[in-house]
Each structure stands twice: as C-alpha cells, then as structure tokens.
Structure 1
Amino acid sequence: MAPLSKIFAVLAASFITLAIADQAPPVPTKGDFNVLTMNVGGISGAIDKDGVPEDQTNAKTIGKLFSSLGYKIINMQEDFHYNDNIYANVKYLFKSVPAPEVPNSDGLNTISAFTPNAFERVKWNKCSQASEFDCDTANGFTIMRAQIATGVFVDVYNLRADAGVKEEDKVARASNFDDLATYIDVMSAGNPVIILGDTSSLYTRQGDNPTIFVTRNGMRDAFVELHLNGVNPTVEKACKNPSVVQDCETTDKVFYRGSRQLQLEATYFNYESPKFISASGGVLSDHNPITVNFTWSVSALFQQSDLFGNPSGQWFNDLTSLPDSPKVETLTFRSGSELDQVRIGYVGGKELTHGGLGGGEKSMFLGNDEFWISARICQGGSGDQIKIYYLLATTSKGYTLAGGVESGQCVTYEPPSGWQIVGYMGRNTTEVTQLGFIYAPI
C-alpha cells in the first residue's frame, strides 16, 4: 500500500468545505438510499468471455440507465476506455475524475447524488500476472466520504481485487483484502462503511477470504444477510447473466456496517442485469450489476456536526473511545497563529488528543453542572494547504476557551437543545487540518 502521507496528498481542493454562514444544528433523523455496483468492462476493442462487446454504444446505454433508474451512489469497475461515453449521459451531483488511462488507471469511478467530503485512490500493494493482466493496470480501491445529510457521513469504498484462480492470484487477492481492511481500520475508524465492488472472490472457492471484512471490520454481507439467512454459502451456485434468481453468488459484493452514531440496515438486494439490456437484447456487461437499499437512522446516544477544513492527514474519531454517557471535564488547545492540537479530558481520567506539539497551551476546567455547548471554528489558507486557524469553545455557563487566530472562513456548531459537545472527529498532521464535533445528551 502507498504511504499514508502520499495517499493524503491526492485529495482535491474541490472537496474542502468552505462554509461561511453558521450552520443549523443537526437533529435526530432517518432516511434511505440505494447503491449500485457494476463492472462495466470498459476495455477498448475487447469482447469479454460472455461475448459482450465493450464499445461506445453499450457505454452510452449504461450511462442513460444509471440516470433513469435513479441510484444514489454508483461504483463502477473496469471503467477504462469509455468513461466519457458513460459520463455524457449521467446527470449527478458528483462524478469522480477518472485516473489516467491504462497502465495508470485503476478503472474505478464513482457517481453520487450526495456531496463527497473527500475522494481518494489507493493502489494495491501486490498484484499477480498468473492468470490475467492485473499488474498491467493500477488496480486498487477508492474511498468517497459521502455526506448523506447534515452530520451524517458514510465511507463508501469501491474495489477491483486481483482476479484469477491460480495460487499466485489468491495470494495477491488476500493481500488486496488485507490492504483494504487495514485502511478501513485506520481511515474509517468510528464511521459507517459500505464496500461495493468486484472482489474477484467467492465464499465457495478454496483460498478466498471475503470474510475478512466481517471478522476484522465488523461488517455484514448484504447478499448473505438478505438471501441466505446470514449463513455463508458452502456449495457453489453460479449466477447466470442476466440472473433472475437472488440466491446465486457472484464475485461482486456489498458489505456494510453502521456506527455508534448511525444505524445502517440493508433492506433489499437485487441483481439488476435484467434492467441493463442493450437495444439488440443482449446484456451490457459480463457482470450482474447489484443494487442494495439501505435505511439509516441517527442514534439516540450520539450525533455529529458537519466536517470543516481540509480532508488531508490522519483520520480520527472519538466515537471509538467514548463511553456511552461521557462528561467533559477539561478542554485544552495548543495554538499560535493556527490550531495545533486539541485535547479533551473526561470525568474518570480519560484524555483524547489530536494534532501536534506546536504553539502554546491553554486549558479550561468544566464544573459538574457545566457543559460544552458551542464551538466556533475558522479555517484559512488555500487549496490543499487549508487548515484550522481558530477554535472557540463556549460552555453552558458562558465561559470560553480560544485557540489560534480568528480569521478566514468561520462557522459555529451547536448541538440540539439538551445535548452537549463531547468529542472530536477530523484529520490531523502536526496540526489540526479538519474538525467536526460529537454530541451526546446532557
């Protein structure tokens, strides 16, 4: 896997939040959305093993169907040579900028009706040429941090794992899965996550390990959950294309999990290939596209603000460490002309720290009947150099603690009535580059 410092550097400045007006507080809410994963087989001049021509006409049809069928998030794999034809017919809020063409392309692209806070590409650490030409492209995975609603984020991963059934392929594929599972542990800590893409793996194939995302990352397989009563298949049942049954297994999979802040449930899983038919009556890809519907609801224990600042650096989320009923006892900021570090202490002695060691230190003690109820935050700089310049904390008794210099674009976050600020989420390097706030009932 590429070094984390290099991964963070690919973030585009267009994903940096530049909110200026104060934001209304998030409130407990719920909703639903659907996703689609489709290997579009976009290799110029190729005819795949099922006899499906991979050409501009099919690509244009795929793009039209994406828009007309109304999926909220779409992950594509093998989107190499005909992306322009797909995108020409797609009308969505967000369309990922394709990577350069083969051999530098990963063929992974995402279309979304939701605003992304960040979009990143990561290359696999290992590949195999034993069965196919996986080392001839920059295969890997992507992550989009999708903002579903105010204070509601879901990390959506796309992947295309090393293909083939020879031993070298399986070793490379296991390494791919380990890359992704490790990345999720670090960069999606505390967050809801959806993985949808081409895993190139089957539960029934000896040596494959798609269960790693269940055992290591606490996820569920929507197909196994909704069509196999939660039991992984042990006897292979291959899918036809188009598939008219739902209990067969393909290498395209959808894993998901919620968080302490967001309950996420898969309610519907369907092979969509009967909808993706060409004018001549043929399928548009040798893979069955998959859709999953999700419902979501905000927890009664925790809520979140939006994220503010630059999505670069190490991700952190205090939800991984907070007790169910936290009480803030101390706030500490390190700062000079910008916010270098935030530290929060709780009744019972636990402390959580994010950022570096620059600047001077200021602290504030909160009494037993005093709570943190407002945070004003400012960001400055430009492009991928934007960072947090200022943070002002105000308590229920009117006391304040400030760090940094109030300048640039600013926003104030306040929890709903009867709630308090109890923690942070965001990104840091040797300073704080992005911040959001975690709320809990008083």
Structure 2
Amino acid sequence: MRPCLMPKGFTFMRVAIAVSGDSTTAVYANFYNLHTDAGTETAHNAARQANVNQVELERSGTVPTVETLCANPSTIDSCETVDKIFFYRSGPLVTLQDDDFTYASKLFLQADGSVLLDHNPVMGNFYTVVGDVPVLAGIAKAKTPVLTFRGGSRLDGFGLTLTDGTRFTHGGTGGSPVTLTLGASERWVAAKLCQGQKDGNTRIFSIRAVTSSGRSLAAGMATGDCVRYPAPSGWQIVGFLDGSEVD
C-alpha cells in the first residue's frame, strides 16, 4: 500500500481542559494544524524560516544553519523538516508549557509496517497552569485584606488571604517574609514585576504591590527589566497565575 498525501490547508479544534466530571472550571486551548510551503529550494527554506523563526526543545533556541532531513518514519527528533510544532502561546487565564517533543512515527504505521502519510506525525507534551482562577471562579466579590511575599536575592514566594479565609500561596519558603494588612476600603491595584535569568531560565526576581491608598509591599531584588501591571479602573488584584517556579 502507498502512503496518502497530506491534504493542504488547515484544521482547527478547541479543547476543554478540566477536572474529570467537572466542567465548571474548564479552560480552553485552540489547536491549528497547518500545511505550510513544502518546497525544497533555497527560497522556500528562507520563506519558512522567515515565517516562523522558533526552535526550542531540540535545539535549545538555536536555529540550525544546515538542514538535517528527516526519514519517514523518522528515528530521530533533531532532524529538520516541515513537520513541527512551530508555535504555541499562552492566554490571560491559562499558561501553556511544553516539556517534550518527538516524532511519533512508530504509532502511525500500517499493519505491514509502512507509513500512513508522507509526513511524520509530531507530538508534544503540554501541561497547563491556571493558578488561582478555578477557586476564584466560585467566590463572589473577592477582596484581599492581607498580602505576604517572601524574598532575598530574588523572589522566593508570594501569597494572599481573602476576606473569606481562602489563602493562595505560591513558590517556595526561602527568603524573608513581609506582610501588609489592607484597610477595609483598601485594594491591591498595581503590581511591578522584575525578571532576570537563573539557571538558564527566566524568573521573577522581585515584586512590588501598590494599594489604592498608595501603600506598597515589596520582596526580592529589582533588576533592570521590570513591568508595571495596573488593574483596570474599578478592579483589583486578587490572585495569581504561576508555574512550578516563580516564573
């Protein structure tokens, strides 16, 4: 049997990510499958690189200068061909992180061992981070009376307590804790975050919270790469999105 040719164009699907049996706190991820320019001349290769210039897991961010063609089925993951997970992006309520890439060629073979398609199937292992969003979804008019940060040479941990007693704590237990108790009508309205490099990864090195009364709470060590995040007018900060590190 001969392999089928991959249809041209793109497909789209939306996937709900939720706890089994509970869709009330679901977050959604959109997936696009696209057949790009498949030419092999120099201009085709340049066009593809100009369209999407991102290499992460196999090349550690280094764009290859010499093409290593993939066999079909491919027996290695570091080869270069048109079959890639080229791009992924997080949204405001969910963080996508990919920690593995492989050509799953052995899973897509015909009974006689021959390939199903003229392309190698790609597979990535994504995990999602939604932080405090699922809990906050069930709390009406959440308010933050207590902020607690931990830091030293960088930010180690951060947390807050809501008026109903709910506590959010993220990060580690290192560094020195600092606490700010807000007044009855006081709100956390802005955050300044500074980032830097640790062990080859981007981490949050400091945080500074500013309240509606002009008071502030800070932890960690500021860097030259900082961004201020104000809450929209009439809103406040009541939770976090975070990963396995303070990133």
TM-score when scaled to structure 2? Answer: 0.62
Q: Does 1:105 align with 2:83?
A: no
Partner of 1:307: none
**8 Å CA contact 2:153, 2:205 repeated in 1:** yes
Once the two structures are TM-superposed, the CA of residue 384 in structure 1 deviates from its matched residue by: 3.0
Picking from 391, 405, 421, the partner of 2:221 is 405
Partner of 1:346: 162
Q: Which has the higher contact order (CA 8 A, sep 6+)?
A: 1
Partner of 1:360: 176
Once the two structures are TM-superposed, the CA of residue 396 in structure 1 deviates from its matched residue by: 0.5
Whose helix fraction is larger, Structure 1's or Structure 2's? Answer: 1
Give the unaligned 5+ runs of structure 2. 11-30, 59-67
**Match of 1:379, as an amino acid?**
Q
How many pairs are equivalent?
Answer: 197
**8 Å CA contact 1:333, 1:362 repeated in 2:** yes
Distance 1:328 1:83, change over 3 A: farther
Describe the SS at the equivalent of 1:412.
Answer: strand
**Match of 2:33, as an amino acid?**
N
Residues 247-300 of structure 1 deviation map (CA, whole Å, 9 limit, x = unaligned)? xxxxxxxxxxxxxxxxxxxxxxxxxxxxxxxxxxxxxxxxxxxxxxxxxxxxxx
Describe the SS at the equivalent of 1:320.
Answer: helix
Q: Percent identity?
A: 27
Once the two structures are TM-superposed, the CA of residue 392 in structure 1 deviates from its matched residue by: 0.5
**Match of 2:171, as an amino acid?**
G
Picking from 391, 403, 406, the partner of 2:207 is 391
Partner of 1:48: 3
Describe the SS at the equivalent of 2:243.
Answer: strand
Once the two structures are TM-superposed, the CA of residue 346 in structure 1 deviates from its matched residue by: 0.3
Partner of 1:317: 131
Distance 1:350 1:85, change over 3 A: farther
**8 Å CA contact 1:96, 1:111 repeated in 2:** yes
Describe the SS at the equivalent of 1:420.
Answer: coil
Once the two structures are TM-superposed, the CA of residue 376 in structure 1 deviates from its matched residue by: 0.9
Partner of 1:175: none
Residues 106-135 of structure 1 deviation map (CA, whole Å, 9 limit, x = unaligned)? 9333368x89997735358x965673568x
Once the two structures are TM-superposed, the CA of residue 427 in structure 1 deviates from its matched residue by: 2.1
Counterpart mapping for 1:267-286 below 5 A: none
Distance 1:119 1:358, change over 3 A: closer
Distance 1:115 1:350, change over 3 A: closer
Once the two structures are TM-superposed, the CA of residue 351 in structure 1 deviates from its matched residue by: 0.5
Once the two structures are TM-superposed, the CA of residue 87 in structure 1 deviates from its matched residue by: 5.0
Describe the SS at the equivalent of 2:238.
Answer: strand
Once the two structures are TM-superposed, the CA of residue 379 in structure 1 deviates from its matched residue by: 1.1
**Match of 2:84, as an amino acid?**
L
Q: CA–CA distance in 2 between the matches of 1:397 and 1:380?
A: 29
Partner of 1:16: none
